[in-house]
Amino acid sequence: MEAETLNKTSATEVVIRLPRLAQLIILASLALIILRLCMFHVYFDQHDKRDDKFIQGREAATGMHCANDRSRWASVAALVHYQTFSIDDIDSRRGKEGNWGTIDKVYHADRKGVERFYSSKPPLYNILLAAQYWLLHRSTGLNIFDSPRFTIKLLTLVNQVLLFAAILLLLARFAQRRLASSPHFYLYLIAIGFGTFLSTFAVTLNNHIPAALFTLLAIMQCHHVSTSKDIPWYRFSLIGLYTAITVTFELPALAFLCLVGLWLFRIDFLSY
């Protein structure tokens, strides 16, 4: 019954139940990420002549960091504006339109035999992002080409920072049951909020944070299975779903899926 209640607990309720200091640590971690997200691009002094040579010929700031996230954003823009996975028309954008070029792409023939460039990233996440951008574009008129920095940072906030917040809340709630009366609980929160690479990844579009979230969800379900006597069938379904989704974000997680599958097979075998 206690486990079922935990599953039904909303994120808001989790925050309310955490001690005040724990809430402050989590909020400070998220505030730092949001600050970095907003202040990533450097603005130069227009009156400082030393900057002229550096600024001259530079592309417009788009909110994208490197070839990795440019590959994903190019695919998202192509899906919404051109209804195709091909990024040929976007990969060539430079200058005042920003740098959309990426080396994370593959060359492949389409249905008509024409060879085109496509993002080398797994497509599921790009499709989910494209659905969000399509809704944003249709409802507000925001265009990723006209306002790339605001659009990209907004979607990054939703798809990275909020997911990282969910990870912090789930881990905090899980540890609170075991470390609530110990000062180690707050050291634990500082470690997960400030001491992992996930917080550094949170300011750019990447697959690592959603993969970490679904890995955590799978492990939490595995914990319920290992500590419960009467195991409802849906927990096994959730473990399969979460581990499979993790693989779509992080291909090396296929080893994690196989390991969990063997563990569940052992549990099922011993139950007879």
Residue-wise pLDDT tens digits, 97-124: 788 889 999 998 878 888 999 999 989 9
Residue type, 167: I
For tokens 């599958």, name the residue: 261
Statement: residue 3 has pLDDT above 50? no
Residues 6+ apart with CB under 8 A from 61: 41, 98, 149
Helix H, strand E, coil C: the string for 110-147 is CCCCCEEEEECCCHHHHHHHHHHHHHHHHHHCCCCCCC
Contact 54, 192 (CB under 8 A): no
Residue-wise pLDDT tens digits, 166-213: 999 999 998 888 776 778 899 999 999 999 999 999 999 999 999 999
Contact 106, 117 (CB under 8 A): yes
Contact 79, 127 (CB under 8 A): yes
Q: Is 226 exposed, middle or buried (0-12, 13-18, 19+ CB in 10 A)?
A: exposed
Residue-wise pLDDT tens digits, 48-92: 555 455 445 555 678 888 889 999 999 999 999 999 999 998 998
CA atoms within 13 A on the CB side of 169: 19
Statement: residue 42 has pLDDT above 80? no
